[in-house]
Structure 1
């Protein structure tokens, strides 16, 4: 009897191993359509502390971080690696992580204040110094892929931080070998040729203005003579001039219409495509014109994605989606197609694309100041001409109750976060009504990335409020996310 039980137990264990292998195979194989992914968003530095020895205080408000024993830079790549099984067990198939390039600002733990697009931030790293540069990030990508999990990298094309940028305006020498990156005076050595020998003696506010002037011409001198940044002063969040404006003090607006800038960004972020990231989530996309996206970035990233498809999980097509913020729930934003998320899913007109010449020789002829019009003679007006009524599509819908071949001939290759649906998650009826009346505005709304709540906005009528509905509403929202469209 004991032998029989033992044999039955052995058979059962073999069956379980076999089932586990089958489950793993189902999870990892043949998943090439990004609409099959469930995405786990994380701010890497706040997710999980895999290596306490690399914890770093942000430069600002250090006493508060010490008193709470919570340094802003706490989570790291090792922490993500340690929790891959946890994320997989929750049912997620992809991880969207915050930007990884080298940052510099008082609060830069989120990754959106780049100071060097060509390097991975040293504060994510672990080990005895052997795992430097992008080696640790490559390890994360490889180990995620081994478990059937895709990596979506958050990238920023719209702006740098206000400490300059290594390639375009070198304001500091960053000592990344220094273990304590919390000491700004030790790890950030001023470039006196750029900032002036008196920089260390200035008060912080004047130091900020000195740094900014080198990039933005705010002091009345043409310091950014190659126009690597935009020089536009006053703007309106709800007008096209938001494409050229500095949206915050730590978000210094790059001139993405300049080929030199665009090519550098494509080169730097292209290195991550070569490493095997499965897609990009593109920050502040609504602060770059569609024409610029279609000319300078989307075809280039798509070509790199095709070239290095062997690096990605299942050789899936490279997926890109952007944050074209549209608050308050209407599919069309403020009555303007060209500021609406759906507009970016369509190709820009060929005649405007053909007229787009962002060569450095052109930009070197333009002398622009924040105190003036802020416009160049050609490229910005050209982008503003891209304001035709948006086309419509039936790609999302069945015809006569049946599937039909989608028409992607006019697709830009760029997808968007579905802000309008996000604001209509109060109930299923509201979400359904919005989609029924508005999904034809997108080239294919089934590729929209949908969420209920985020680090920026909750689905409530007033901004800045996290989801505060009932459990029943939350359950309904999740059901919509996983089954809708």
Structure 2
């Protein structure tokens, strides 16, 4: 053993930080424990080696700047795990791993700052692995990596379904539970509530503090817009331009806070849905130094999408138009991710699975689903549902034709014509939302106007492979606010009666339940106003009955009564639908199963109407009366009954 090797012995390659004070401590200890007589000429040489090695170790370890996923889980159905290591010239090293774990592939790209290492975790117990990075057979540095145990029956988790009511909120605009994190040193945009489009300070703590409010309202699942870090200089409050997809934005809290939110929801029997973005990022850290040129869609650089999602399946579409839909950027500040790049697709897949496992999630809502590379997004979706067969994912397919939307649902017969299956369990009923946009102002019955629009929406239900697994809603964070269109609580009640009783999964957007307005024509910030009472000093606190105005309580009480009634109604969750062609702008339909039947009557006329019941004999059968679930009033069904203008009845048949 040479003098150099003697000096190297015992020097830890795990040393990450080294300063002068530590150096002095080490040197003092070294000198005190010299077992031979002090001879300067003998001491200085090894001392020099120690300094060189310590500095070299510091430099080598500093090369490793990112490891993603930061940890993983033992016992996954798919045992292959691809870990991305990032650091200056890291590709120069050979990589090995401890515990007899098999490295099945090492991928190095044109960028020497990345190395992608795939290991097989099959039958590997939870615990710590050590990755060694070597040059010329000598270890430059190591990296500890943990495989955590999974929760019991994690793979069998059940996602949200038609028994749920999903409450959608934007965390920055809901409630400020911790004013200390309104602005943080590691993020660019600072809080300024005086500006509608700036950060306002809402956070995870604010959500947790008001979960009982959501429970009281009848919500059983929470969909929050993205909570991962969005470090854009402005407009970052919406969260769709993410800069780090493994980290909760510090202005919302921490990863631990998000786990606490998940736990608090589950304590209340509620579910957590993460808003996942597969199509684009913001200033994500990899975009500052991309692993490959085609990590993004390049033209080179930016080109705008044409937003024509029909080109994804139009057999007559030109290749350039289809390309500009899938590959074009949604907006200039959101670089478009290339899901046809296997490294990118695997990164997105593993990140999604990591969040499910880590945060104990119950579902995803996927933003701009139909703008993605259609083959790539199908692989992403299938990988997740293969790992979690009962997990639910709803995709934003913002189209205006039922056949076009049904194309994107799993096992679609329409998609099968082109040998395409997205594997996406759920889509959003945008055509019903379209009808809601004007139908309640159409007071007179006409061939193609009035409540017939709602009826016609359901005539195409046969196109969907799983009609109970579609999301129904009157508004969301991207649309005109319903109460802005209709500042009339009667029309709100009609819409909610429909949302709560038709097939599918109802979704409510924050503030609907207190009559909140907002004009999209004034900009998106206006439809994303702060929830009153979420900030200290708010004059109106709509989170409490005493703090709400009389009008707000009228909205809230109706909504809460309706959706709490719905919670235990299997006939609404999974029953069949029989609908009748509207007459005099009055729409009647039944939800029924072998045990019970519910009759829904919606009078969209601006006049009181009489409903003759003999026409509905095939569904009324032997029932003689129906009890309205809201008022408790009983209606005789033998002959006829009256219904007020612009009103709805939900009658449980007796």
TM (normalized to structure 2)? 0.44
Is 2:469 the counterpart of 1:341? no
Is 2:301 the counterpart of 1:231? no
Which structure 2 residue ranges, 5 or more long, are not aligned?
Answer: 1-156, 312-321, 441-450, 504-654
- Give the equivalent residue in structure 2 for 1:150: 271
In structure 2, C-alpha distance between the alignment counterparts of 1:158 and 1:298, rounded to whole Å: 13
Is 2:323 the counterpart of 1:278? no
| CA 1:421–1:71: 2 relative to 1, 3 Å | closer
8 Å Cα contact 1:101/1:114 also seen in 2: yes
| CA 1:387–1:37: 2 relative to 1, 3 Å | closer
1:473 to 491, 498, 502: 491
Residue deviations 1:309-356 (CA, integer Å, cap 9, x gap): xxxxxxxx2110011111xx4334xxxxxxx3211103489xxxxxxx
| CA 1:466–1:300: 2 relative to 1, 3 Å | farther
Residue deviations 1:116-175 (CA, integer Å, cap 9, x gap): 1122222211xxxxxx4x1111111011100111011101000011x2x22x33x3xxxx
8 Å Cα contact 1:345/1:412 also seen in 2: yes
In structure 1, C-alpha distance between the alignment counterparts of 2:411 and 2:355, rounded to whole Å: 25
| CA 1:453–1:467: 2 relative to 1, 3 Å | farther
Matching of residues 168-187 of structure 1 within 5 Å: 168-169=286-287, 171=288
Matching of residues 384-423 of structure 1 within 5 Å: 389=417, 412-423=423-434
| CA 1:50–1:33: 2 relative to 1, 3 Å | closer
| CA 1:285–1:411: 2 relative to 1, 3 Å | closer
In structure 2, C-alpha distance between the alignment counterparts of 1:449 and 1:38, rounded to whole Å: 10
| CA 1:469–1:343: 2 relative to 1, 3 Å | farther
Is 2:239 the counterpart of 1:111? yes
Is 2:211 the counterpart of 1:84? yes
Give the CA deviation at 1:304: 3.2
1:319 to 382, 385, 392: 392
| CA 1:304–1:120: 2 relative to 1, 3 Å | farther
Give the CA deviation at 1:387: 7.3
Which structure has the bigger radius of gyration?
Answer: 2
Moved over 6 A (4+): 30-33, 68-71
In structure 1, C-alpha distance between the alignment counterparts of 2:367 and 2:494, rounded to whole Å: 28
Is 2:453 the counterpart of 1:430? yes
1:456 to 465, 469, 478: 478
The answer to which structure has the higher helix fraction is 1
8 Å Cα contact 1:290/1:343 also seen in 2: no
Is 2:402 the counterpart of 1:331? yes
In structure 2, C-alpha distance between the alignment counterparts of 1:302 and 1:279, rounded to whole Å: 11
The answer to which structure has the higher strand fraction is 2
| CA 1:292–1:472: 2 relative to 1, 3 Å | same
8 Å Cα contact 1:56/1:73 also seen in 2: no
8 Å Cα contact 1:343/1:390 also seen in 2: no
- Give the equivalent residue in structure 1 for 2:628: none
Residue deviations 1:48-103 (CA, integer Å, cap 9, x gap): 1111111128856x79x265699614111111111110100011101101112221
In structure 2, C-alpha distance between the alignment counterparts of 1:348 and 1:440, rounded to whole Å: 11
- Give the equivalent residue in structure 1 for 2:341: 258
| CA 1:117–1:348: 2 relative to 1, 3 Å | farther
- Give the equivalent residue in structure 2 for 1:219: none
8 Å Cα contact 2:345/2:376 also seen in 1: no
Give the CA deviation at 1:286: 1.7
| CA 1:322–1:123: 2 relative to 1, 3 Å | same
- Give the equivalent residue in structure 1 for 2:590: none
- Give the equivalent residue in structure 2 for 1:45: 172
In structure 1, C-alpha distance between the alignment counterparts of 2:272 and 2:237, rounded to whole Å: 19
Give the CA deviation at 1:421: 1.1
8 Å Cα contact 2:175/2:203 also seen in 1: yes
Q: Which has the higher contact order (CA 8 A, sep 6+)?
A: 1
| CA 1:423–1:54: 2 relative to 1, 3 Å | same
In structure 2, C-alpha distance between the alignment counterparts of 1:261 and 1:32, rounded to whole Å: 26
8 Å Cα contact 2:409/2:422 also seen in 1: yes
Give the CA deviation at 1:289: 4.0
Aligned partner of residue 114 in structure 1, secondary structure: coil
How many matched pairs?
Answer: 315
1:446 to 465, 468, 474: 468
In structure 1, C-alpha distance between the alignment counterparts of 2:188 and 2:484, rounded to whole Å: 28
In structure 2, C-alpha distance between the alignment counterparts of 1:459 and 1:42, rounded to whole Å: 14
| CA 1:390–1:322: 2 relative to 1, 3 Å | same
8 Å Cα contact 1:151/1:279 also seen in 2: yes
Aligned partner of residue 173 in structure 2, secondary structure: helix
Give the CA deviation at 1:111: 0.9
1:120 to 248, 253, 265: 248
| CA 1:32–1:262: 2 relative to 1, 3 Å | closer
Give the CA deviation at 1:108: 0.8
In structure 2, C-alpha distance between the alignment counterparts of 1:443 and 1:69, rounded to whole Å: 41
In structure 2, C-alpha distance between the alignment counterparts of 1:66 and 1:449, rounded to whole Å: 32
| CA 1:66–1:142: 2 relative to 1, 3 Å | closer
| CA 1:388–1:278: 2 relative to 1, 3 Å | closer
- Give the equivalent residue in structure 1 for 2:23: none
Deviates more, 1:82-91 or 1:444-453: 444-453
In structure 1, C-alpha distance between the alignment counterparts of 2:350 and 2:159, rounded to whole Å: 25
Which structure 1 residue ranges, 5 or more long, are not aligned?
Answer: 1-29, 126-131, 172-193, 195-214, 216-223, 307-316, 333-339, 350-385, 392-409
Aligned partner of residue 262 in structure 1, secondary structure: helix
